[in-house]
Amino acid sequence: MADRKKAILRAVTDDYITTAEPVGSRTIARKYGLGVSSATIRNEMADLEDEGYLEQPHASAGRIPSDKGYRFYVDTLMTGRDLTGHEEKRIRAEYERRRDEIRALIRTTAKMLGDISQCASVVVGPTVRTAEIRHIQLVPISSETVLVLVVTNSGLVEHRVLSIEHAMHPSDLDRISRILNNRLRGSTLAQMHGAALREIQAELSAYATFLDQMFELLLSAMHSSDEERVYVDGLMQLLAQPEFKDVGRARPVLEFLESDDLVLRALTAVGSRGLGATVVTIGSENVMNELQSCSVISAPYGVAGRVVGAVAVVGPTRLDYSMVTALVGYMAEGLSDILARLDSCESGE
């Protein structure tokens, strides 16, 4: 594509991203001094429309970028940019405060993503199911209840209260804990079946019913905690965007974002590309119908080369792609860093 055409496409896109108004040839000529008249720009814009990069909302309005136009903009036109020092500092400060509880950290991450991007944000937290077990511990709470504690390498601490029929002595619980740790450390809850379980049962045959109950509890915890991995924020910011001033247009998107399982499914797909890959999905490129009027920028994060979750920003296709891409990438990296520190710290036993 000719340089001037690129410059015009870039100008149209930049302008539309900031003003949310269809942009005309005169505006381009005046504001983006390309050294040519509006008539020339008109001709070029007509070409760009023929080629599918621009479109007209109605016959005599300015042009706006099509999904294809945004795609070209993101792939080759966009000037990459870093976060401002202010933004970066704010994120760092928040991360300093929230090091000790991973769920709070993730909640905060979603909040900051929404705030800075002025769009809706989603963070998918780590799952216990596939994380490596670092530590299992049974804690006696009362004569009838035992707390089952699982700490994973992704910093997640999962706990469940188990009701037991017969009181157990703390030293028994310690002994069981020790054996569970030996057998299960390093594996995942999802792998916790078959052979491993049988071995444990054999070694601790005296506690058969207790172990059965406990494994059942862990199994159900594995599934139910999945629903609580999704943190959504910034719905308000989304509603503030002009393309969603009509509730009818906003509803499908908001409904999608409120249904955790759909979001979860959509974002786990992102993880498949591996760590460090920020994915931009524009309008109709989205598989989910509800999102076809939106763009999604997402990036996975993880520990030790394994993807454990993802962060994402959802906004109108008219999105500040360069800012949000930088932001999402930065946040994913930040989460990965913190997890890595937790990981190395805990494994250094």
Partner DNA sequence: ATTAGCACTCCCAGCCTACGAGTGCTAACG
Partner DNA sequence: CGTTAGCACTCGTAGGCTGGGAGTGCTAAT
Tokens found for residue 137: 């511990």
> At 159, phi and psi to the nearest 5?
-140, 150
> At 136, phi and psi to the nearest 5?
-125, 135
Selection from DNA, a second copy, none that 61 binds (CB < 5 to 8 A by kind) is DNA
CB nearer a second copy, residue 195 or residue 247: 247
- Tell me if 250 contacts a second copy by CB under 8 A: yes
Burial class of residue 298, CB neighbours in 10 A (0-12, 13-18, 19+)? buried
Q: Which stretch binds a second copy (CB under 8 A): 30-38, 47-55, 152-160, 317-325?
A: 152-160
Name residue, tokens 């209260």. Answer: 161
Q: How far apart are CA 123 and CA 313, in angstroms?
A: 9
Nearest approach, Cβ of 325 to DNA (angstroms)?
A: 28
Nearest approach, Cβ of 212 to a second copy (angstroms)?
A: 16
Nearest of 284, 343, 270, 282 to residue 315 by alpha carbon = 282
Nearest approach, Cβ of 29 to DNA (angstroms)?
A: 8
What is the per-residue binding string for DNA in 15-54, x denoting contact by CB under 7 A? -------xxxxxx-------xxxxxx-xx-xx--x-----
- Tell me if 64 contacts a second copy by CB under 8 A: no
Nearest of 174, 155, 188 to residue 347 by alpha carbon = 155
Q: State the Cα angle at 61 between 57 and 63, rounded to 5°.
A: 65
Selection from a second copy, DNA, none that 24 binds (CB < 5 to 8 A by kind) is DNA
Q: How far apart are CA 129 and CA 107, in angstroms?
A: 20
- Tell me if 68 contacts a second copy by CB under 8 A: no
Binding site for a second copy (CB under 8 A): 97-98, 100-101, 103-104, 107, 134-135, 137, 139, 141-145, 147, 149, 151, 155, 157, 159-163, 217, 220-221, 224-225, 227-228, 233, 235-236, 239-240, 244-247, 250-251, 254-255, 258, 342, 345-349
